[in-house]
């Protein structure tokens, strides 16, 4: 199957949709990742037949053989993207072809079959259309979660011969409670997220599984997220558990860690680089050490820091906590360049700012 091929989706709408009143209640304060829509998309892959059996159907539990390979060896990948209602009432996605491409790259790294990008986009369109009533108003959006896992019942260790692709959707509000305020991050000196040659650059559940103990440690210390250092020298800033990171300096320039193979190539990261350079700012993709972070925060050279990703968009980092003491960035409450870049990105997504790069894809 080539990258532009389409497949036929069968559509059997649910016989038990959530009623309009109950849905309106759920959408009032959906939080993040708790409220799910009526439908899902599933597509099967087998070694013999390739991709087949694409369905739009009622969202319901999936039944799996207890020997399904994913339950034992963790062969699973995912993506995350959002559908927004725009100022003009249309529904749009932000750079979804980038998610489709990254999903293929993740599949390749985990020795899984690559879903053609056109089919990924078709699945997204189908689900957003059938569940469009679930897109919250105001700041909210419909968070789309495509994922794929190994279903073959086999305990031998080799890539599975059977997979299920699933797309679900969740109505979401702000990722961090309290919305705009700066987050505090915990510097993990004990755990690392990814090493060279590993899976740090792909979106797989295993990376998250390995980060949860550090995340729990962060929460214990009153922090929102973990910031990870590199695995080799425990010195260079990599990223947060699920977000890339940027540093903003007194001359208006920015630094973000380079895509060295151990960090996730975020689509938000790429978009921020493009927007900042478009404003004439210098953006370095360069290594930045924790010692430098400490020194620059103390001297005032570092004015702002922020994390970015689809779920939370852009979040100011106000403070780092670590076993060696705290670092406060600026006044600990975010800064103007972070706020302006966030406003520009959200503005493009919502249709309030011109989409000069052609990033927005409207749903027909």
Ligand X SMILES: *Cc1c(COP(=O)(O)O)cnc(C)c1O
Q: Does 96 bind ligand X (CB under 6 A)?
A: no
Stretch touching ligand X by CB under 6 A, among 152-160, 218-226, 235-243, 334-342: 235-243
Q: Look up residue 95 and give its DSSP letter.
A: S
Q: Residue 254 CB, nearest distance to ligand X (Å)? A: 16
* Identified binder of ligand X from the candidate list 75, 225, 244, 262, rule CB under 6 A: 244
Could you tell me the two tokens for 207? 């990376």
* Identified binder of ligand X from the candidate list 104, 203, 342, 350, rule CB under 6 A: 203
* Identified binder of ligand X from the candidate list 30, 80, 96, 116, rule CB under 6 A: 80
Alpha helix segments (H runs only) across 83-116 = 96-109
Nearer to ligand X (CB atom), residue 264 or residue 360: 264
Stretch touching ligand X by CB under 6 A, among 60-68, 123-131, 157-165, 239-247: 239-247
Q: Does 318 bind ligand X (CB under 6 A)?
A: no
Stretch touching ligand X by CB under 6 A, among 122-130, 226-234, 241-249, 253-261: 241-249
* Identified binder of ligand X from the candidate list 116, 140, 173, 242, rule CB under 6 A: 242
- Structural contact between residues 75 and 156, judged by C-beta atoms closer than 8 angstroms: no
**In the chain, beta strands by DSSP E:** 9-12, 35-36, 39-46, 50-58, 76-78, 81-85, 91-94, 141-150, 162-172, 183-188, 225-229, 237-240, 244-249, 254-256, 283-285, 302-309, 313-321, 327-328, 360-362
Q: Does 257 bind ligand X (CB under 6 A)?
A: no
Stretch touching ligand X by CB under 6 A, among 117-125, 135-143, 262-270, 338-346: 262-270
* Identified binder of ligand X from the candidate list 100, 148, 243, 320, rule CB under 6 A: 243
* Identified binder of ligand X from the candidate list 268, 315, 338, 349, rule CB under 6 A: 268
Euclidean distance between CA atoms 201 and 339, whole angstroms: 27
Q: Report residue 73 CA to chain centroid gap.
A: 23
* Identified binder of ligand X from the candidate list 30, 116, 140, 309, rule CB under 6 A: 309
Euclidean distance between CA atoms 312 and 244, whole angstroms: 11
* Identified binder of ligand X from the candidate list 267, 273, 314, 317, rule CB under 6 A: 267
- Structural contact between residues 222 and 251, judged by C-beta atoms closer than 8 angstroms: no
Q: Look up residue 231 and give its DSSP letter.
A: T
* Identified binder of ligand X from the candidate list 113, 146, 257, 266, rule CB under 6 A: 266
Q: Residue 225 CB, nearest distance to ligand X (Å)? A: 11
Closest CA to 272 of 356, 179, 342, 176: 342
Euclidean distance between CA atoms 17 and 139, whole angstroms: 24
Size of the residue set binding ligand X (CB under 6 A): 13
Q: Does 188 bind ligand X (CB under 6 A)?
A: no
Long-range contacts of 189-192 (CB under 8 A, 24+ apart): 189/229, 189/234, 189/322, 189/323, 189/324, 190/214, 190/217, 191/217, 191/226, 191/228, 192/228, 192/229, 192/230, 192/231, 192/234, 192/238
Euclidean distance between CA atoms 151 and 163, whole angstroms: 5
Q: Residue 258 CB, nearest distance to ligand X (Å)? A: 14
Nearer to ligand X (CB atom), residue 140 or residue 330: 140
Nearer to ligand X (CB atom), residue 164 or residue 264: 264
Q: Which residues bind ligand X (CB under 6 A)?
A: 80, 203, 239, 242-244, 264, 266-269, 309-310
């Amino acid at each position: 199957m080539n990258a532009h091929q389409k497949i036929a989706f069968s559509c059997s709408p649910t016989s038990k949709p959530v009623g309009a009143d109950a849905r309106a209640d759920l959408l009032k304060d959906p939080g993040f990742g708790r409220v799910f829509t009526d439908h899902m998309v599933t597509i099967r892959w087998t070694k013999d037949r390739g991709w087949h059996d694409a369905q739009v159907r009622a969202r319901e539990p999936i039944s799996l053989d207890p020997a399904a390979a994913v339950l034992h060896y963790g062969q699973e990948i995912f993506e995350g993207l959002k559908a927004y209602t725009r100022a003009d009432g249309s529904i749009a996605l932000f750079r979804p072809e980038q998610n489709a491409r990254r999903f293929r790259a993740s599949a390749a790294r985990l020795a899984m079959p690559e879903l053609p990008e056109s089919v990924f986009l078709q699945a997204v369109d189908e689900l957003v259309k059938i569940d469009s009533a679930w897109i919250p108003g105001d700041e909210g959006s419909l968070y789309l979660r495509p994922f794929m896992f190994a279903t073959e019942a086999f305990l031998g260790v080799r890539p599975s011969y059977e997979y299920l692709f699933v797309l679900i959707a969740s109505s979401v509000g702000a990722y961090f409670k309290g919305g705009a305020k700066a987050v505090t991050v915990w510097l993990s000196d004990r755990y690392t997220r990814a090493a060279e040659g590993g899976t740090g650059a792909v979106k797989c559940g295993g990376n998250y599984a390995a980060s949860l103990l550090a995340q729990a440690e962060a929460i214990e210390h009153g922090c929102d997220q973990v910031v990870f250092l590199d695995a080799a020298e425990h010195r260079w800033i990599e990223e947060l558990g699920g977000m890339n990171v940027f540093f903003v300096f007194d001359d208006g320039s920015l630094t973000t860690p380079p895509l060295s193979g151990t960090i996730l190539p975020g689509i938000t990261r790429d978009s921020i680089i493009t927007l900042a350079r478009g404003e004439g700012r210098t953006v370095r993709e360069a290594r930045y050490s924790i010692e430098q972070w400490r020194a620059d925060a103390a001297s005032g050279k570092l004015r702002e820091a922020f994390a970015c990703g689809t779920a939370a968009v852009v979040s100011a980092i106000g403070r780092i906590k670590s076993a060696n003491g705290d670092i406060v960035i600026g006044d600990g409450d975010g800064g103007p360049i972070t706020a302006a870049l966030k406003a520009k990105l959200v503005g493009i997504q919502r249709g309030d700012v011109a989409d000069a790069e052609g990033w927005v894809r409207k749903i027909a």
